[in-house]
Amino acid sequence: MSLVNFNKMLARARRENYAVGAFNVYHLQDITTVLAAAEAVRSPVILATTRDAFAHSTMEDLVAVIKRRARATEIPVCLHLDHARDFDTIIRAIFAGYTSVMFDGSSLPLAENIHKTREIVKVAEPLNVSVEAEIGRVGRVQTQYSEEKTDDGAVFSDPGEVKKFVEETGIDACAIAIGSLHGMQKQEASLNLNLLEEIRKRVEIPLVLHGSSGVKETELKEIGARGIQKVNIGTRLQRVFTDEMRRILAENKNLHDSVKVLESARKALKKEVIHKIEILGSSNKVRN
């Protein structure tokens, strides 16, 4: 199957009250494992890359690999550019073959965010590329290895501003800030579900949750039915992958076979991705 944008997969998720995972991938190990996990449980999947991924490979190389892998699978696969803040990077991604892009103007004044987002939509829509943007601001936990400091720069989304933003930009999905934070290592965040309900009353398009790695799983199980249809997952996957590498190397002091180390890390990662897919409710949503 060729790469698709996320419009149809999120529209179905909206109708059937579940969410689709957008898994951050950085290298071949991530790409291979996330796709294998989604295939195993027959789930649509979004592969998301940030600028950090381009430190390991070029944008064009990642597109080539993911396009080839998508053609070899029967599940819907969307390739998404996550948290891009400049016009040139987004245009480059669109013409490189991304089927979905996110413009992150959340730190901008509302009027400027609307204007710049609308310009992205004008380019992407005729090319069948879906567009996500953010209103409010999801903060970030500042982590230096074991030390974790909460960023208080988060700004909850205002329901009225969300409505205005969606109507004036024409975006396909809207990322909102309701209590999660990027980069959390522990699942301790509590979502403001009442705020989510107020936002959902005002807009019809799919809503997006960023920073889900720190959200309690009991709440992640609920959000599909409450109107979140795309859930970004990144930090948790990196933690699982690297923790398993540490474990196998610590238990096998003479192990110097990188393939075996990576194989063990991939198995742990696949198990975690399947777990997240099942929590979000998107397993068995692809017909055989």
Return the active site residues. Answer: 82
Alpha carbon of residue 244 to chain centroid: 22
Is 133 in contact with 102 (CB distance < 8 Å)?
Answer: yes
Is 104 in contact with 84 (CB distance < 8 Å)?
Answer: yes
**d(C-alpha 88, C-alpha 104), whole Å:** 13
Backbone angles phi, psi at 204, to 5 degrees: -105, -20
**Contacts of 246 by beta carbon, 8 Å cutoff, 6+ apart:** none
139 is written with which tokens?
């903060």
Annotate 188-230 with DSSP letters as a single string.
Answer: -B---HHHHHHHHHH--SPEEE--GGGB-HHHHHHHHHHTEEE
36 is written with which tokens?
């294998």
Whole-number CA gyration radius for the chain? 18
Residues in the chain: 288
CA quadruple 40, 76, 103, 178: dihedral sign: negative
Indicate the residue type of 96.
A
Helix or strand (DSSP H, E) at 77: strand 77-84
**d(C-alpha 34, C-alpha 128), whole Å:** 24
Annotate 1-13 with DSSP letters as a single string.
Answer: -----SHHHHHHH
Q: Are strands 147-149 and 142-144 parallel, antiparallel or unpaired?
A: antiparallel
